Amino acid sequence: MFDPTTLKDRVVFIAGGTSGINLGIAKGMAAVGAKVAVLGRNPDKATAAAQEITESVTSNNGHSAIALTADVRDPEQVESALQSCVAQLGKIDCLISGAAGNFPAPALGISPKGFKTVIDIDLLGTYNVFHLGFQHLNKGASLIAITAPQAVTAMPFQVHVCAAKAGINMMIKCLAVEWGAAGITVNGISPGPINGTEGAERLAPTPETKAKMADKIASKRFGETKDIADAAIYLASDMGRYMNGTIMTVDGGTELGDASTDCLSVPSR
C-alpha cells in the first residue's frame, strides 16, 4: 500500500527542476515529505521554482524547497551546488538529472556548435550531475535521469537530441552495473507528450494538432506532470528498490505506434 509520506525527510536534488516536467517532479517529491533542492541556470527562475514548490506543500506542513544555481555543463558549478545542498539539507537520497536542450532542426541545418550544445547540456550534464553527485549520496540512494523517446526512436529534425538521449540511456545502464554494489540504483524515465510543457507546445502548437497527436496515442491523451512525478516517487522510494538500470516509459502507449481510431476497431464497453 502506498504511504503518502514514503519519502519523508529524504533529500532530493533535481537538476533542471525549475520548469515543466522537472518542476512537477519537485512538487510531487515535496508533497510526499521530501526535502527538495532545485537547480537551475537562471537564479531568478530557481528562486521562483523553490517558492512555488514551498507554497504547494504549506497546507500539509511540507518542507521549504531551496534554490541552487549552476550550469550543468560546468563541473565546478555543479560541485558547488551539490555541496550547498548537503550543507543545507543533508546528504542526498535521490539525485535527478533533468536539464535538457532542444530545438527542432534538420541535420544539415544544425551547426557543430549547436549539436555540441545539446550534447553538452543533456549527456555531459547528466554525467556531471551523477559523477560529481556520487560522493554526496546516502547509502541506498536513487539516481534518475529524465530521458526521452528520441533515445530509441529516430525522428526527423532531432538528430542532436536522439544522439544525446541514446547516450543517456546507455549511461544509465553502465552506471547501474558499476554502482549497484555500492547500494545505488540508477534508472531513467522516458516521458511521452506532457501537458503544460515547452516540448508539448512545440510538438502540438494548436488545439487541432494536439487532438491529432492525442488520437495516435493508445491512451488517447497527453500526460500530466503528475504522471511523471508519480513514476519518480516510485523509483526514489523503497517500493522501487529493486529497479536498477531500467528505462521506465511513461507515455500512455506513445511508443507502441499509431493507435488512431480510424486505424482500429475500437471495442464497445
CATH code of the domain in which 109 resides: 3.40.50.720
C-alpha to C-alpha distance for 228 and 146, rounded to whole angstroms: 10
pLDDT tens-place string over residues 11-69: 999 999 999 999 999 999 999 999 999 999 999 999 999 999 999 886 556 688 999 99
Question: What number is the average pLDDT over the span 120-136?
Answer: 98
Q: Is residue 181 part of a domain?
A: yes
Domain enclosing residue 116, as ranges: 11-195+225-252
CA 39 to chain centre: 12
C-alpha to C-alpha distance for 263 and 158, rounded to whole angstroms: 27
For 115, residues 6+ apart whose C-beta sits below 8 A from its C-beta are: 159, 160, 163
Q: Is residue 75 part of a domain?
A: yes
Look at 79 and 202; give whichever has higher pLDDT: 79
The string of DSSP codes covering 149-188 is GGGTS--TT-HHHHHHHHHHHHHHHHHHHHHGGGT-EEEE
Quick one: 107 exposed, middle or buried, by C-beta within 10 A (0-12, 13-18, 19+)?
Answer: exposed
Quickly state the pLDDT bin for 235 (edges 50, 70, 90).
Answer: very high
Q: Is residue 68 part of a domain?
A: yes
Q: Is residue 5 part of a domain?
A: no
Q: Is residue 4 part of a domain?
A: no
pTM for the full predicted model: 0.94
pLDDT tens-place string over residues 141-168: 999 999 999 999 999 999 999 999 999 9
Number of domains the chain contains: 1
At 130, which helix (H) or strand (E)? Answer: helix 125-133
Q: Is residue 207 part of a domain?
A: no
Exposed e or buried b for every residue in 43-64, given b needs 16+ CB within 10 A? eebbbbbbebbbebbeeeebbe
Angle at 89 between CA 86 and CA 90, to 5 degrees: 55
Question: What number is the average pLDDT over the span 172-200?
Answer: 95
Q: Is residue 213 part of a domain?
A: no
Q: Is residue 238 part of a domain?
A: yes
Q: What CA–CA distances, in Å, run from 185 to 81, 94, 117, 180, 247?
A: 22, 10, 28, 6, 12
